[in-house]
Amino acid sequence: MTWQLPYPSGRQPVLARNVVSTSQPLAAQAGAAAFARGGNAIDAALAAAITLTVVEPVMNGIGGDAFALVWDGAALHGLNASGRAPRAWTAERFAHLPQMPRIGWDTVTTPGGVAGWVALSERFGALPFEDLFTDAIRHARDGFPVSPVIARQWAQAAIDLKGQPGFEAFTPGGRAPQAGEIWRFADQADTLADIARTRGASFYRGRLAQAMADYARQHGAGLALEDLAAHAVEWVQPISVPFGDRTVHEIPPNGQGIAALMALGLLEHLPYRSTAAGSAARMHLEIEAMRVAFADLYAHVADSDHMRLTSAQLLDPAYLRQRAALIDPQRAGQYPAGQPGSGGTVYLCTADSEGRMVSFIQSNFKGFGSGVVVPGTGIALHNRGMGFVTTPGHPNQVAGGKRPMHSIIPAFVTRGGQPHMAFGVMGGNMQAQGHVQMVLREAVEGLNPQACSDAPRWRINDAGALTLEHTVPAAVVDGLRALGHDPQVAAPGSLEFGSAQIIRRLEATPGTGFAYAAGSDHRRDGQAVGC
């Protein structure tokens, strides 16, 4: 690993024995405070995550989903805390639509994140559950100054979500808070205190659950008390692929992490390492591998109980070799889905001196999610139902009790069977392709965590178009055009390229315990904090 910083972010990597990296400084400091109170990496992750629902409400909230990968000192564990569609949802309910709605009650699936907090705390935490809410409740009740980045996103949401049931709670006086303005939300503080006191029971079976169900009933929505009461997290076995001397791990479907693994597996069958770092030739192979992986993702991946193909089939080396053969190193192509033989977000990571590492992500999906806010609670409900399709017979077709294909994914890397790196890149479909780019920057180019995050990025957007950050050199842009791509260069300050948080374990000195290097994305307000 090199400590050089070849890209102009102005940030240095943070080195410490205990470290937390998040997209918002107050949340990072909440994680550090948990460490100071005797907590471990799991406690720090949860304190940061709970605080993020308050201080970065444009990207996540109490009414969202969550996933985690946890190295407990001996093994890697996966947690799927995503919710299912209301039982009242049927294919017929949405059959008249070419695609799922983007906002409103008909995008609201059961929010699973709160149950994820409880499950992680019960299994791995050292601090009392209520202790994890200290900073979040304080910021909600006493207020905090809104940052310019968040204010900009909030202002856009105020336009996009105007008129959605209850959303006026986040736009008092008909407007979003301005940069530097103090934001307080007492209802949210009370809700978090209720969740803390009842260990989440109020959210799924008590007062808060009743408030959500009653509001849904008022609007003829599908979410019911029975859906909330039936919610349960799932501990899952992570899926993985080898990449050089590393192994990259993701949560299995219903998440899109398998697309990152497929792209990395494809690159192992392409002349990737013979290309120069930062060159058009290298970026071309990255982009083409991602396009092939996305073709299979959108055709085959859904709730694992409803997939016709298994993760093992999609990650089979022989199948990946077959798919890689479609890619021309000299020309951009078009890729249909293959058929193997017999599938608005915040991310954070933490690590502690005893060797535990956490990769954690939670989201309301698109900005504030559905735009629906339950009165008197501060609960902004996600729009994760948007992840379903209405195509008859598709494995991801909407149905009651089914999990939608999910965009939010934490990632983890091991090396020689030991933890090496916890990382993630928030931002819709940018997440899987961001994971690919972070692994390549670290594993092939040897960059430190901050430099991995700083490097210019490419993105295949939701419409399939290729966009590049404005920091991509003009010669590379021209080189991609010569290879048959049609890249669009985004304006400075674009938020479409996601936000990365990365922690890499340093080589341990015998008898000294563990230490880490962390990076936090300069594209957001984030901060890595060590203690």
Q: Give the DSSP per-residue string, 196-243.
A: HHHTTHHHHHSHHHHHHHHHHHHTT-S--HHHHHH---EEEPPEEEEE
Considering 345, 350, 377, 414, which one is annotated as catalytic? 345
Residue 386 DSSP code: G
Q: In 10 A of CB 334, how many CB atoms?
A: 8
Residue 132 belongs to what H/E stretch? none
Residue 13 DSSP code: P
* β partners of residue 482: none
Please tell me the distance from the alpha carbon of residue 119 to that of residue 328, in angstroms, as a whole number.
46
Which residues in 336-366 are b (16+ Cβ under 10 Å) and which e? Answer: eebebeebbbbbbbbbbbebbbbbbbbbbbb
Please tell me the distance from the alpha carbon of residue 128 to that of residue 135, in angstroms, as a whole number.
14
Q: Which residue type occupies 403?
A: R
Q: Under DSSP, is residue 423 helix (H, G, I), strand (E, B) or coil?
A: strand
Contact 117, 165 (CB under 8 A): no
Query: What is the side-by-side strand order in the sheet with 65-71?
Result: 234-236, 76-81, 65-71, 357-363, 345-351, 19-22, 527-530
Which residues in 287-324 are b (16+ Cβ under 10 Å) and which e? Answer: bbbbbbbbbbbbbbbbbbebbebbbebbbeeebbeebb
Looking up tokens 């999990």 gives 403
Please tell me the distance from the alpha carbon of residue 117 to that of residue 121, in angstroms, as a whole number.
6
Backbone angles phi, psi at 16, to 5 degrees: -165, 165
310 is catalytic: no
Q: Which of 310, 304, 341 is nearest to 323 (CA)?
A: 341
Q: Which residue type occupies 251?
A: I
Helix residue ranges per DSSP H, 87-173: 91-94, 113-124, 134-142, 148-160
Residue 484 DSSP code: T
Please tell me the distance from the alpha carbon of residue 160 to that of residue 451, in angstroms, as a whole number.
35
Which residues participate in catalysis according to the annotation? Answer: 345
